[in-house]
Amino acid sequence: MKESAIALAKSNGRIDQRYLDAIQAALADSRRESTRRLYAGAWRRFRAWAEAEGLQALPADPITVAAYMTDRAGQGLSGSSLSLDRKAISYHHRIAGLPTPTLSEDVKLTVAGLRNQAAAKGRWDPRQARGLTERDLARIVATAHGRRRGPTGRRESRQAARRRGDVDIAMVSVMRDALLRRGEATELRWRDVDFCRDGSARLTIRRSKTSVASALQYVGVRATEALRRIAPPDPDPNARIFGLRCGRSISNRIAAMAKAAGLGEGFSGHSPRVGMAQDLTAAGTGLTALMVAGRWKSERMPAHYARAQAARRGAVAQFHREGSWG
């Protein structure tokens, strides 16, 4: 779908075509490919629901969006899922040059009410991925090379298990040290790695979920060693390091390695980032330093991820450790 302003400019011939093409290309790159896929899926669901209800999806009336939010919440969806729905609806209205109905007070108050209702039932808390901590990483390293069975029931060869296990270890180790989002991990190329003399490495994150500016992240010696083990003798600079093209593949891979390590369910592509945030907090890292390390613009999410570790290091915990009570 194209911006209505661009369509108008094409129709009246005021702007040279080369500028319009450049603008269109920039608009296409204004969202990451993974984000566009998520928005497209959420938009398809909204349009299908609106059609089934005999309502108009574009432009949508605010009360239509509010009704959709109640329907989605009634299915037991998490707050993050409802947030994605709102963003997708807003995005598709904006690129069509239409006012977004999600800014209506009706929609805002409806979502706030749904949040309060769910909180009263103890189920609004975001479905946070389990943190993959240093202890969990050690278990994955110990079990990563075990031969597994695929969907067909066929068991891996020892060579395949060794190769897959090396990639598994490198993936979670690097994602933890650099606090990578799963989309950043899929986009990581060999050109983005700078191996240093002290055995560590630096990763260039060329574009992230929250910024188009590049960032430089530190990777420790053990993770760098794991990265070197999977590096080809003469790697193609543009080749994806982990060979995966979408965030869901990263999530599935981490869930599988966690299950094989006996860690249970709840691990996903976000787990290495969450786990490192928890480990850093437990080690005494303050919230501001944690935000810098993880490139968070707001303190809300890192504080949420590491709230249990922060509580164990808080003033009351310190009071009891020091025996100040008597």
C-alpha neighbours within 13 Å on the C-beta side of residue 191: 6
Quote the DSSP letter at residue 189.
B
Give the separation between CA 93 and CA 71, rounded to whole angstroms: 20
- pLDDT score, position 184: 93
97-105: list long-range contacts, CB under 8 Å, 24+ apart: 97/3, 97/4, 97/5, 98/4, 98/58, 98/59, 99/59, 101/59, 101/60, 101/61, 101/62, 101/64, 101/65, 102/62, 102/65, 104/62, 104/65, 104/66
Task: Please state, in angstroms and as integers, the Cα–Cα distance from residue 24 to each residue in 89, 115, 188, 265, following that order.
Answer: 20, 38, 26, 43
Q: Is the pLDDT of residue 149 over 50?
A: yes
- pLDDT score, position 58: 93
pTM of the model: 0.66
- pLDDT score, position 212: 57
Q: Which CATH architecture has domain 134-266?
A: Orthogonal Bundle (1.10)
Neighbours of 164 (CB within 10 A): 18
Residue ranges of domains in the chain: 31-120, 134-266
Comparison of pLDDT for 34 and 199, the residue scoring more: 199
Asked whether 169 and 139 are in contact (CB, 8 A), the reply is no
Average pLDDT of every residue of the chain: 85
- pLDDT score, position 1: 40
CATH dotted code for 31-120:
1.10.150.130
pLDDT in tens, 77-133: 767 778 889 999 998 998 888 899 999 998 989 988 887 777 666 554 555 678 999
- pLDDT score, position 3: 44
Comparison of pLDDT for 210 and 58, the residue scoring more: 58
Complete edge-to-edge strand list for the sheet that includes strand 201-205: 193-195, 201-205, 215-219
- Which of 54-58, 60-64, 158-162, 210-214 is predicted least confidently? 210-214
Q: Is the pLDDT of residue 20 over 80?
A: no
Nearest Cα residue to 217 out of 241, 232, 230, 200: 200
- pLDDT score, position 22: 75
- pLDDT score, position 310: 81
Comparison of pLDDT for 165 and 27, the residue scoring more: 165
Comparison of pLDDT for 26 and 74, the residue scoring more: 74
Phi-psi region of 183 (alpha: psi -120 to 50; beta: other; left: phi over 0): alpha
Nearest Cα residue to 132 out of 292, 257, 286, 248: 257
Residue percentage of the chain with pLDDT more than 90: 56
Neighbours of 256 (CB within 10 A): 14
- pLDDT score, position 84: 87
Burial call 39-62: b when 16+ CB within 10 Å, e when fewer: beebbeebbebbeeeebebeebeb
- pLDDT score, position 253: 95
pLDDT in tens, 231-270: 999 999 999 999 998 888 999 999 999 999 999 988 999 9
Nearest Cα residue to 188 out of 134, 239, 246: 239
- pLDDT score, position 26: 67
For 294, residues 6+ apart whose C-beta sits below 8 A from its C-beta are: 179, 273, 276, 277, 302
